[in-house]
Structure 1
Amino acid sequence: MNLLVIYTHPNHRSLSFSFLQKVIQGSGENPLIQEVQVLDLYEEGFDPVLVFNEQKRRRDMHIDPRLEKYRNQITWADKIVFVYPIWWGRPPAMLLGYIDQMFASDFAYRDKKGLLPEGLLAGKSVVCISSMKGPTHYPLFWLNNAHKILMKRALFQFVGMKKVKFFEFGNMESPKGRHEEKLEKVYRYFRGMAQ
């Protein structure tokens, strides 16, 4: 199994970075995982801004040479792991900009007759590891589960990725946030993950 880990946080002293380290540590101890690639969007200097004009058309995004490296990473991966904070009830703009460009028509999906497209990333699975300042159940009860619906239904299932696992941790700026317990949970999951 090949793992692509997409890390989105500007600070390497953050709790998100600690979660990233646990993903790497657990994956390194899992004999079923052959290789792990980490894409740190901030460190990479990824440009999240979409530009469309007479020279750069949206329908050509799937062949944009500037994005070829990232398309190759997604194609290579069996499982894609996203590590990010939840800001204002959703992933950071940097990650959303990556998604806008990478999950493009004729790469991630193909339009066909009917309501839903053909998902071209079928067979891949996803893990989302997110943390937030607010209580754990805040997105469920206050935001109608908008974060998970956005990621699972509006994105991953649309492009054919049916198997999605969430670790959504709340109270992460509180001294009572049980950080070590949650970090250990992520480590154990990746150490024992079967597929």
Structure 2
Amino acid sequence: MKTLIIYTHPNHQSLCYSFLQNVIKGCNENTNIKELQVLDLYEEGFNPLLVFNENKRRRDMHRDPDLEKYRKQILWADQLVLVYPIWWGRPPAMLLGYIDQMFASNFAYKDKKGLLPMGLLKGKSVVCISTMKGPAKYPLLWLNNAHKILMKRALFQFVGINKVKFFEFGKMESPNGKQKKKLEKVYQYFKKIESKQVLLS
């Protein structure tokens, strides 16, 4: 299994970065994960801004040469792992800018007759690992599960990816947030995960 980790946090001293390190550690100890790549969007200097003009048209975004490297990474991977904080009930603008550009028509999906398009990224799996200051139930009880609906239904299922697992960790700025226990949980998950086996949540 080939795994691409997409990390989105500007501070390498953050708890998010500790989760990234535990994902990497678990993957490196898992014999089912043969190859691993890490894309740190902030360190990479990824430009999240959409530009549409006479030289860059939206319909051509799937073949934009500036994004070729990132398209190849997504096609290469069997498993995508996203590590990011929840800010204002959703992922950071940097990650959303990456999504806007990478999951483009004729690369991630193809329009066809009917309500839904043809997903072009079938067979892949996704794990979303997110941290937040508020309680773990906040997105479910206060925001009607908006985070999971955004990532799972509006994005990944739209492009043909049905295997999506979430780790939503709340109270991450609290002294009683059980940070070490949650870090260990992520490490053990990636240490033991079998090829293309992502439990839905």
Which residue does the alignment assign to 1:187? 187
Matches within 5 A, 1:94-105: 94-105=94-105
Aligned amino acid, residue 81 of structure 2: V
Alignment partner of 1:23 is 2:60: no
1:68-94 CA-to-partner distances (Å, cap 9, x unmatched) read 000000000000000000000000000
AA aligned opposite 1:115: L
Task: Give the distance between the partners of 1:177 and 1:71, measured in 2 at CA.
Answer: 37
- Structure 2 gap segments, 5+ residues each: 197-201
2:70 is aligned with 1:87: no
Q: Counterpart amino acid of 2:177?
A: G
Supply the distance in 1 between the matched residues of 2:163 and 2:77 (Cα, whole angstroms). 14
Report the equivalent of 2:56: 56
SS in 2 for 1:5: strand
Q: Which residue does the alignment assign to 1:73?
A: 73
**2:199 corresponds to:** none
Counterpart secondary structure, 2:80: strand
- Counterpart in 2 of 1:158? 158
How many angstroms does 1:55 deviate by?
Answer: 1.1
CA RMSD of aligned residues (A): 0.3
Residue in structure 2 matched with residue 41 of structure 1 by the alignment: 41
Give the superposition deviation at 1:143.
0.2
Q: Deviations over 1:92-117 (max 9, x none)?
A: 00000000000000000000000000
In 2, distance between residues paired with 1:29 and 1:67?
A: 31
* Amino acid of the structure 2 residue aligned with 1:155: L
**TM-score for the superposition, normalised by structure 2:** 0.97
Structure 2 residue aligned with 1:133: 133
- Residue identity (%): 76
Normalising to structure 1: TM-score of the pair?
Answer: 1.00
How many positions carry a matched residue from both structures?
A: 195
| Distance in 2 of aligned mates of 1:136 and 1:120 | 32
Match of 1:108 in 2: 108
Q: Which residue of 1 aligns with 2:10?
A: 10
Q: 1:121 aligns to what SS in structure 2?
A: coil
C-alpha separation in 2, matches of 1:121 and 1:18: 29
Shift of 1:54: 1.1
